[in-house]
Amino acid sequence: MVGELIAGRYELEKLVGSGGMSNVFRAHDRLLERTVAIKILHEQYTRDEDYVERFRREARAVAQLAHPNIVTVIDRGEQDGRQYIVFEYIDGENLKELSARGPLDPHEAIRLALQVARALSFAHDRGLVHRDVKPQNVLLNDDGQAKVTDFGIARSLDVHGVTQTGTVLGTSDYIAPEQARGQKVDPKTDIYSLGAVLYELLTGEVPYAGENFVAVAMRHVNEPPPSVLDRRPDCPLRLDLAIQRAMAKDPEERYGSMEEFCTELEGCLAELNGRADEGATMIVPPPPRQRRAKKPRQRLRVPWTPILLVLLAALLVAGGAYLLLHDGAETPTLARGASPKPVQLQGAGAFDPIGGDGEHDSVAGRATDHDQATFWDTEHYSNFTKEGVGLVLKAPESTALSKLTVNSVGTNFDAQIKGGDSRAGPFTDLTGDFQQVGSSKAFNLDTHDKKYLYYLVWLKLPFEGGQAKISEVTART
């Protein structure tokens, strides 16, 4: 097939991958003069309408996943009865090749796992479960950015993963127990597989070894999650516990969502960087305590009278200090409520009600990827006459934020923060007047305890124009 011309524009140059359902070729796009990747369904499946429709349906769904850590679908079609999908071409190694050179530093392992987790969370929010999360399906571009591929394309006779009845199982080295049993999969299946991938990045080995698919799959079903610390004593305990929870046999014992797993990994990274106070609240549950046999009580003779006198004196002093300091004032709000905690927002898209080309809607996720080197940006204006344009951010759930911090590079701009229940608005002003954003600006939000699912950074550039670039947005309740 090398040398063949597909759709009159894609010239097949080299076979770069092969699976049970399709082949992947590097190709040259003659129309746009660029290199692309083409996945072509195996000929034996083109006569099965079920497979053809599945291929088409998944291609349409994955084409909607515009995320910086997901390989972009460019085109799809049919030629001579053969179905094909065109992707962006990533000229780099995959995570399997990277880990084969040895265990990764925990910082790097978490950084890559976080990018994969954000991509999967983005897909889960749109109703897609990957079903075959493995290092081979995570490509690295020239900048070291992770790109998840093979999203939702069901495999049927893959050498690594189906039953004789054609039930898709996935790759056995990373397979979730419920998937190995042929049960229904959901987003928690991807959480398990990503936990197995992270284990391999840190140890250089798969969690369970075996002679064949069935032997490995049964170990995933029956054996407890392995500890990274057994292979890597320098691994932080919190990270080890996070992986074990992700790989819990019972899906109900895993993280509630991929977003929750992201939050915990961010907390692990913050601790490694010495910024535990800035990281996410630890949500890994402590291991169950073993009950100890009760010892018979021994009576201890204590001279209570002096102790009681000391306690009474302390209470009198504390009470007097309280009255002097408060003088009848109301107890501060912070003492009555929960402590502020970080909230992981997700770049949902751009907002330009006046119209235009979307203000780079597809790269909104770069403003929440915890990478200051990437950013969401507006169009470049020679003069700015609009009422404003904005960046829409989505919270994991409806939340009353108290603070939102915007970090930017390039041209200064003025901004307000607004809240709403829909990505398309309407939005309610939460900060009053516009405030100038330099390299960093923390906005105090007045939500009046109302919870919003979406938050909008509504900005104005100087009249003489320029371009706003938001590199990172963080938030707290």
Which residue type is seen at 130?
A: H
- Whether the Cβ atoms of residue 47 and residue 40 lie closer than 8 Å to each other: no
Tokens standing for residue 272? 């490694």
Enumerate residues 6+ apart whose C-beta is below 8 A from 298. none
| Average pLDDT for 409-426 | 91
Confidence at residue 352, expressed as pLDDT on a 0 to 100 scale:
87
Most confident among 76-80, 281-285, 294-298, 331-335 (mean pLDDT) = 76-80
Residue whose C-alpha is closest to residue 175's, from 147, 204, 134: 134
Which residue type is seen at 68?
A: P
Confidence at residue 157, expressed as pLDDT on a 0 to 100 scale:
29
| Average pLDDT for 263-281 | 75
Residue 292 has pLDDT above 50, yes or no: no
Tokens standing for residue 27? 């190709």
- Whether the Cβ atoms of residue 288 and residue 307 lie closer than 8 Å to each other: no
- Residue 64 or 10, more confident: 10
The answer to whether the pTM exceeds 0.85 is no
- Long-range contacts (CB closer than 8 Å, 24 or more residues apart) made by 224-230: 224/249, 225/195, 225/249, 226/199, 228/199, 228/202, 228/203
- Asked if 50 is an active-site residue, the reply is no
Lowest mean pLDDT among 141-150, 291-300, 407-416, 443-452: 291-300
Enumerate residues 6+ apart whose C-beta is below 8 A from 141. 90, 91, 92, 147
- Annotate 303-322 with b (16+ C-beta within 10 A) or e (fewer): eeeeeeeeeeeeeeeeeeee
pLDDT digits (tens, 9 = 90+) for 219-267: 999 999 999 999 999 999 999 999 999 999 999 999 999 999 999 999 9
Pick the catalytic residue: 48, 80, 132, 173?
Answer: 132
Confidence at residue 355, expressed as pLDDT on a 0 to 100 scale:
65
Three-state SS across the chain?
A: CCCCEECCCEEEEEEEEECCCEEEEEEEECCCCEEEEEEEECHHHCCCHHHHHHHHHHHHHHCCCCCCCECCEEEEEEECCEEEEEEECCCCCEHHHHHCCCCCCHHHHHHHHHHHHHHHHHHHHCCCCCCCCCHHHEEECCCCCEEECCCCCCCCCCCCCECCCCCECCCHHHCCHHHHCCCCCCHHHHHHHHHHHHHHHHHCCCCCCCCCHHHHHHHHHHCCCCCHHHHCCCCCHHHHHHHHHHCCCCHHHCCCCHHHHHHHHHHHHHHHCCCCCCCCCCCCCCCCCCCCCCCCCCCCCCCHHHHHHHHHHHHHHHHHHHHHHHCCCCCCHHHHCCCCCEECCEEEEEECCCCCCCCCHHHHHHHHCCCCCCCEECCCECCCCCCCEEEEEEEEEEECCCEEEEEEEECCEEEEEEEECCCCCCCEECCCCCEEECCEEEEECCCCCCCEEEEEEEEECCCCCECEEEEEEEEEC
pLDDT above 70 as % of the chain? 81
Alpha-carbon distance of 195 to 383, in angstroms, equals: 49
Confidence at residue 301, expressed as pLDDT on a 0 to 100 scale:
46
Enumerate residues 6+ apart whose C-beta is below 8 A from 46. 52, 81, 82, 83
- Whether the Cβ atoms of residue 402 and residue 461 lie closer than 8 Å to each other: no
Residue 317 has pLDDT above 60, yes or no: no
The pLDDT confidence band at residue 119, using thresholds 50, 70 and 90, is very high
Confidence at residue 337, expressed as pLDDT on a 0 to 100 scale:
41
Residues shown for the chain: 477
The pLDDT confidence band at residue 358, using thresholds 50, 70 and 90, is low
| Average pLDDT for 332-354 | 69
Place of tokens 């200051």: 372
Hey, what domains does the chain have and what are their CATH numbers?
5-88 (3.30.200.20), 95-272 (1.10.510.10), 342-476 (2.60.120.260)
Residue 329 has pLDDT above 70, yes or no: no
Confidence at residue 299, expressed as pLDDT on a 0 to 100 scale:
43
- Whether the Cβ atoms of residue 78 and residue 38 lie closer than 8 Å to each other: no
pLDDT digits (tens, 9 = 90+) for 129-167: 998 899 999 999 888 899 998 875 543 323 333 333 334
Residue whose C-alpha is closest to residue 78's, from 44, 48, 52: 52
| Average pLDDT for 264-293 | 62
Confidence at residue 163, expressed as pLDDT on a 0 to 100 scale:
35
| Average pLDDT for 17-39 | 89
Residue 194 has pLDDT above 90, yes or no: yes
Lowest mean pLDDT among 167-181, 314-328, 342-356: 314-328
Residue 281 has pLDDT above 60, yes or no: no
Q: What rounded mean pLDDT belongs to the chain?
A: 82
Enumerate residues 6+ apart whose C-beta is below 8 A from 107. 269, 272, 273
Confidence at residue 440, expressed as pLDDT on a 0 to 100 scale:
84
pLDDT digits (tens, 9 = 90+) for 426-446: 999 999 989 999 888 999 999
Confidence at residue 211, expressed as pLDDT on a 0 to 100 scale:
86
Alpha-carbon distance of 21 to 7, in angstroms, equals: 21
The pLDDT confidence band at residue 115, using thresholds 50, 70 and 90, is very high
Confidence at residue 144, expressed as pLDDT on a 0 to 100 scale:
86
